[in-house]
């Protein structure tokens, strides 16, 4: 799977899930940073402007949706330069549509197959 | 005796003081020692989690062979750590990664370790062994009857873990029996019950119908405590099991709507409203707005706001003055949803203007965030 090297932020509170995702993305050569709560995640986004966000919905401190709302309302951030993939256990249609309304490009419900995750992420990066 | 005490008073006091001093030193040393041991254990656990986590992730990704994980399983604690890691990954992974994790559960040393725990008679150890069984691809039939017995154990951890394994490996009837045992065990939290129900839905689409049928059976089961019945109704509602509507409607009219437990009444009001059953409106307006239970009045306010009928407006205005803040908030929230109602003109004799402004401001904020 050919991918350009990207600056990716993974915001996920489940330690092992995060480690697995980070491991696989680093193996593909990406520059990956992990934050385990929404507040630190938003802080990092505002300071470092990653190109791709892999966001869990349920997060301590601030949910994935709240992060996207903050980004939408922020004047400092150019949202079009940042691609978002939502990662969550929730697969209810209203959550999916809320994520898309807030700017997510892809949505992956847990449990997921790693190949499918990478495929969708590739789609996000190329969107 | 008194003479002896008088003549040796100083010696006795010194001896007592000395004894207490040494006792204090001993207690302090023991406290330091046990703390040191605990810290050492925690440090080792962190280290093992780090190393094993990295190995298991690489193994699950297909980058290293299973032997590279096996050689890191040296002490008893390592197997427990491995099970925790596999448990976390297993929740989010599917496909070949999940299959590799299952293969890890079949390694000979893992099997021996957990089989011994299963036979140990110690509930905590048995519970871990049950979780291991749950993670395996399949288990022998003779284990099922033992798991069934454990699912009705008084110990909540063991009962939960055995039910978890039965949900993975039991027949439909065994799954249902295990869930019933859990519902009857008052020491198991509602959150744990919810988790088991969630595990059921993870088995596949076909289990959604089974879950719905099982839940409706339990709602009608007189032996299930009211708190659990309310939870089951909430799950039917949250999971949007519309096929359960006819059953719930019957239940509402025959029993639920006038149940002694306010939790059940509250749950059935929410469910009826969410399923769009407008025939509940007269009860909301005449019966539930005057309930002595605030949770029932709150549910009534929410449900009237959900249907947004003109005839509910006077009842909602009445509930705005409820002594309970949540009821007042839900009623105000419901009124704010009506397009023709000016919130600044709503009478609120029991609420100060400042509090009213705060409340309506809070409602506006929630609406802007898309909340309910």
pLDDT in tens, B59-99: 999 999 999 999 999 888 899 999 999 999 988 888 899 99
Q: Quick check: B193 and B182 in contact, CB under 8 A?
A: yes
Q: Report the DSSP beta bridge partners of residue A83.
A: A52
Q: Which two tokens stand for residue B297?
A: 């009045």
Q: What distance in Å separates residue B200's CA from the closest CA in chain A?
A: 14
Q: Quick check: B43 and B50 in contact, CB under 8 A?
A: no
For residue A75, the SS3 value is: coil
The pLDDT-based confidence of B324 (bands split at 50, 70, 90) is very high
d(CA B111, CA B108): 5
Q: Quick check: B322 and B331 in contact, CB under 8 A?
A: yes
Q: Quick check: A8 and A51 in contact, CB under 8 A?
A: yes
Q: CB–CB of A111 and B93 under 8 A? A: yes
Which ranges of A1-127 would DSSP assign to H, the alpha helix?
A: 15-27, 38-48, 64-73, 93-101, 114-126
d(CA B246, CA A49): 52
Torsion of CA B267, B268, B272, B273, to 10 degrees: -40
Nearest to A114 among B53, B95, B370 (CB): B95
Provide the pLDDT for residue B370: 54
Least confident range of A77-81, B22-26, B233-237, B271-275: A77-81
Nearest to A16 among B61, B89, B369 (CB): B89
Provide the pLDDT for residue A23: 95
Q: What is the largest CA-CA distance in chain A?
A: 36
Least confident range of B71-80, B251-260, B349-358: B349-358
Q: What is the ipTM of this complex?
A: 0.86
Which residue in B has a C-alpha nearest to residue A66's C-alpha? B369
Q: Quick check: B152 and B186 in contact, CB under 8 A?
A: no
Region A49-77 average pLDDT: 89
The phi, psi pair for A87, rounded to 5°, reads -130, 115
pTM for this predicted structure: 0.79
User: Count of alpha carbons within 13 Å of A92, Cβ hemisphere only?
Assistant: 9
Angle between helix B95-105 and B76-92 (nearest 10):
160
Q: Which two tokens stand for residue B70?
A: 């096996």
Q: CB–CB of B61 and A23 under 8 A? A: yes
Q: Report the DSSP beta bridge partners of residue A52.
A: A8, A83
d(CA B95, CA B194): 25
Instruction: Look at residue A80 and tell me whether its pLDDT is greater than 60.
Output: yes
Supply the mean pLDDT for chain B: 91
Provide the pLDDT for residue A90: 54
Q: Quick check: A78 and A33 in contact, CB under 8 A?
A: no
Question: Chain B interface residues facing chain A, Cβ-Cβ under 8 Å?
Answer: 53-54, 57-58, 60-61, 63, 85, 88-89, 91-98, 202, 369-370
Q: Quick check: B218 and B232 in contact, CB under 8 A?
A: yes
Cβ contacts (< 8 Å) between B57 and chain A: which residues? 16, 19-20, 23
The vertex-B221 CA angle with B161 and B284, nearest 5°, equals 115
Q: What distance in Å separates residue B19's CA from the closest CA in chain A?
A: 50
Asked, as a colleague might, if the bond just before A111 is cis with ω within 30 of 0, I would say yes
Q: By C-alpha distance, which of B274, B268, B281, B284 is closest to B233?
A: B268
pLDDT in tens, A3-22: 578 999 999 999 999 999 99
Nearest to B57 among A23, A110, A111 (CB): A23
For chain A, percent helix, then strand, then coil, each to nearest 5?
A: 45, 20, 35
């Amino acid at each position: 799977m050919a991918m350009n090297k990207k600056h990716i932020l993974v915001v996920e509170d489940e330690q092992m899930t995060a480690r697995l995702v980070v491991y696989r993305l680093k193996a593909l050569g990406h520059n990956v940073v992990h934050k385990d709560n929404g507040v630190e995640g938003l802080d990092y986004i505002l300071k470092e402007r990653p190109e791709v966000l892999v966001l869990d919905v349920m997060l301590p401190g601030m949910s994935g949706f709240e992060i996207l709302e903050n980004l939408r309302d922020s004047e400092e951030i150019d949202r079009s330069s940042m691609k978002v993939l939502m990662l969550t256990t929730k697969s209810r249609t209203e959550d999916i549509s809320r994520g898309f309304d807030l700017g997510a490009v892809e949505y992956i419900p847990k449990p997921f197959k790693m190949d499918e995750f990478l495929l969708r992420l590739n789609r996000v990066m190329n969107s | 005796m008194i003479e002896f005490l008088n003549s040796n008073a100083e010696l006795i006091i010194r001896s007592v003081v000395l004894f207490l001093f040494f006792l204090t030193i001993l207690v302090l040393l023991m406290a330091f020692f046990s703390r040191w041991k605990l810290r050492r254990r925690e440090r080792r656990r962190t280290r093992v989690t780090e190393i094993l986590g990295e190995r298991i992730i690489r193994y699950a990704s297909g980058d290293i062979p299973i032997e590279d994980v096996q050689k890191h399983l040296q002490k008893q604690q390592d197997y427990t750590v491995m099970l925790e890691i596999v448990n976390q990954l297993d929740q989010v992974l599917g496909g070949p990664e999940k299959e590799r994790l299952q293969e890890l559960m079949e390694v000979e040393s893992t099997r021996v370790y957990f089989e011994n725990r299963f036979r140990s008679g110690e509930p905590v150890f048995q519970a871990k062994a049950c979780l291991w069984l749950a993670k395996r691809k399949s288990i022998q039939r003779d284990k099922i009857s033992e798991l069934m017995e454990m699912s009705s154990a008084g110990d909540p951890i063991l009962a939960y873990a055995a039910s978890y394994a039965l949900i993975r490996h039991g027949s439909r009837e065994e799954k249902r029996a295990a869930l019933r045992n859990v519902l009857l065990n008052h020491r198991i939290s509602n959150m744990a019950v919810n988790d088991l129900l969630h595990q059921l839905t993870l088995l596949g689409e076909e289990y959604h119908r089974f879950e719905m049928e099982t839940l409706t059976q339990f709602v009608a089961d007189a032996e299930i405590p009211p708190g659990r019945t309310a939870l089951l109704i909430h799950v039917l509602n949250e999971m949007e099991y519309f096929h359960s509507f006819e059953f719930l409607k019957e239940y509402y009219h025959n029993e639920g709507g006038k149940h002694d437990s306010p939790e059940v009444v509250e749950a059935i009001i929410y469910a009826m409203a969410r399923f769009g059953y407008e025939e509940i409106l007269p009860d909301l307006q005449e019966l539930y707005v005057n309930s002595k239970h605030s949770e029932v009045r709150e549910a009534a306010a929410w449900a009237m706001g959900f249907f947004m009928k003109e005839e509910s407006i006077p009842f909602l205005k009445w509930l705005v003055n409820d002594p309970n803040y949540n009821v007042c908030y839900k009623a105000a929230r419901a009124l704010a949803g009506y397009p023709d109602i000016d919130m600044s003109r709503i009478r609120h004799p029991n609420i100060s203007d400042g509090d009213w402004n705060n409340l309506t401001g809070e409602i506006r904020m929630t609406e802007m965030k898309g909340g309910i």
